[in-house]
Amino acid sequence: MTLLLEGRRAIVTGAGSGIGRETAKVCAREGARVGVLDVDRTAAERTAAEIGDAALPLVADLTDETQVEAAVAQAASAWGGVDCVIGCAGVQLAGQDDRADRLSLDVWRRTLDINLTGMFLVSKHGIRELLRNGGGTVVLVCSPTGQFGCAPGYDAYSASKAGVYGLVRVMAADYGEENIRVNGVVPGYTRTPMTEWVTPQEHDALLETIPLRRAGQPEEVAEVIAFLASDRTPYTTGAVWSADGGITAI
Ligand SMILES: NC(=O)c1ccc[n+]([C@@H]2O[C@H](COP(=O)([O-])OP(=O)(O)OC[C@H]3O[C@@H](n4cnc5c(N)ncnc54)[C@H](O)[C@@H]3O)[C@@H](O)[C@H]2O)c1
């Protein structure tokens, strides 16, 4: 059986850590060349070194269009094109995000800039490459917080993630005729540096809300992302798949 992403060329944002890092590794294991994009150069280079020859470290701040465009161009020129654009990068500004009446405009803007505008910018420049290529796939990471009010006090984060659902669906409609499929993946409570702030008590309370009664591992989310990025899902677009232990089912 051929590998899931044999011969594909994928850019993965946020690939220096957590879900993005595991996604880059799964894509490479499945035969892709992978652009390991992160704002943190050391982290991007570390993931790229773990992967080896199939990896191309790309350093860009997703809030800066010039940097995003340059990183996408770097990958496209190294490989002669791009087939898959995978948006994993995001921030949850714990200790700064808040409910609306206490939330500063700066924290709101910073969160929206990275989590939503960053997804837009990598989609914009990545999709230009896919169009040149005659098609491809986009997968963006969403969150249950964008679907339900399940994270009180994380108003900026929740709103930014709700925006990602909208972007997935409208881009699926925009690009279907041009052979570009756009899907989302919803992690649940996943053990990565993003959730290090969770206290043991909060951890136990969170597990009570999860049908599988455990936290997810980033590689469990990465497998779903790689599957949706591949040609094994040719009739799937505008879909948002959960890899969340069942949180969004109840
Ligand atoms: N961990 C969870 O429980 C969970 C749950 C639901 C959704 N998510 C989503 O999954 C995605 C990955 O989260 P994670 O848990 O792996 O987080 P993480 O903190 O481990 O990794 C996020 C990566 O994004 C990078 N990044 C941040 N700002 C950037 C920028 N401006 N430009 C480029 N890169 C930038 C960071 O350097 C980091 O390497 C995020 O979109 C997050 O919102 C995570």
The ligand 1 atom at the shortest distance from the C-alpha of residue 61 is 32
**CA 6/CA 4 separation, integer angstroms:** 6
Residue-wise pLDDT tens digits, 108-167? 999 999 999 999 999 999 999 999 999 999 999 999 999 999 999 999 999 999 999 999
Q: Which of 157, 165, 189, 235 is catalytic?
A: 157
Active site residue 235: no
- The percentage of residues in the chain with a pLDDT greater than 70, rounded to a whole number, is 100
Residue-wise pLDDT tens digits, 67-98? 999 999 999 999 999 999 999 999 999 999 99
| pLDDT value of residue 137 | 99
- For ligand 1, say whether the CB of 18 is within 6 Å of any of its atoms: yes
Question: CB under 8 Å to 82, separation ≥6 — which residues?
Answer: 9, 10, 11, 35, 72, 75, 76, 126, 129, 130, 133, 136
- For ligand 1, say whether the CB of 139 is within 6 Å of any of its atoms: no
Cβ neighbour number for residue 83 with a 10 Å cutoff = 24
Residue 173 — very low, low, confident or very high, per pLDDT cuts 50/70/90?
Answer: very high
The residue to mutate among 61, 86, 91, 140, having the most atoms of ligand 1 within 8 angstroms of its beta carbon, is 91
Average pLDDT across the chain, whole number: 98
Give domain limits for the chain. 9-249
| pLDDT exceeds cutoff 80 at 174 | yes
Q: In what order do the strands lie in the sheet with 9-13?
A: 55-59, 33-38, 9-13, 84-87, 136-141, 180-187, 240-243
| pLDDT value of residue 1 | 75
Topology of domain 9-249, CATH: Rossmann fold (3.40.50)
